[in-house]
Amino acid sequence: MISEEEYLYFADRALDGMAGILRDLGDDLANQRPDLPGANPPYVILTHCLGVVNYWVGRLVAGREVVRDRDAEFTAAGPVEDLVARTEAAKLQLREDLARADPRAPLHAEPPPGYVNTKAGLTQAGALQHVYEELAQHHGQLEVTRDILLTRE
């Protein structure tokens, strides 16, 4: 089993990498949508990742009351530094939430419908693995998105 310290190391790398990309892009490019069907702006991608972490770890693992507007994550826009500050706050909250985790325990609430009858929807460890899966996947997506946006410059 991965330790709490190891989990945070990899989660931080993904979150810091995404925040760094947005900083490098600046407010204008971070809020632009690449010219691809269904693509999202970098700001939206990181906002969505923060929503994933807060809901899956905060609500399902730690049992905190969390209100999530997933649809609003995909219309988010704003200054990069505000989102970077939210990312730092989310990393601190992740540490607090992870300290309450019991990997073999069931979730504190039912996961979204697509996960109810899967192994990922059964334990806190499964939820934590899903969060890392999302962070790694979206970090890569954000790297490609950045490259596409920079070719338009």
Report the candidate in 73, 98, 82 with the shortest Cα–Cα distance to residue 6.
98
* Rounded Cα distance, 125 and 102, in Å: 8
Q: Identify the pLDDT of residue 120.
A: 64
Give me the residue label for tokens 């089993």.
Answer: 1
Average pLDDT over all residues of the chain: 95
Which has the minimum average pLDDT: 1-5, 39-43, 103-107, 119-123?
A: 119-123
CATH of the domain at 114: 1.20.120.450
Token pair of 36 as six digits: 């691809």
Taking the alpha carbons at both ends of the chain, their separation in whole angstroms is 45
Interior CA angle at 54 toward 81 and 101, to 5°? 130
Q: Is the pLDDT of residue 9 over 70?
A: yes
Which of the four pLDDT bands, split at 50, 70 and 90, describes residue 152?
A: confident
Q: Identify the pLDDT of residue 121.
A: 66
Q: What is the average per-residue pLDDT within 105-134?
A: 89
Q: Identify the pLDDT of residue 57.
A: 98
The structural domain count of the chain equals 1
* More confident site: 82 or 117: 82
Q: What is the average per-residue pLDDT within 27-34?
A: 98
Q: What is the average per-residue pLDDT within 57-76?
A: 97
Please provide residue 106's backbone torsions phi and psi, each rounded to the nearest 5 degrees: -70, 165
pTM: 0.96
The full 3-state SS of 91-141, as one line of letters, equals HHHHHHHHHCCCCCCCCCCCCCHHHCCCHHHCCHHHHHHHHHHHHHHHHHH
Enclosing domain of residue 19: 4-151
Q: DSSP characters for 4-60?
A: HHHHHHHHHHHHHHHHHHHHHHHHHHHTPPPSSTT---HHHHHHHHHHHHIIIIIII
Q: Is the pLDDT of residue 89 over 80?
A: yes
Q: Is the pLDDT of residue 153 over 80?
A: no
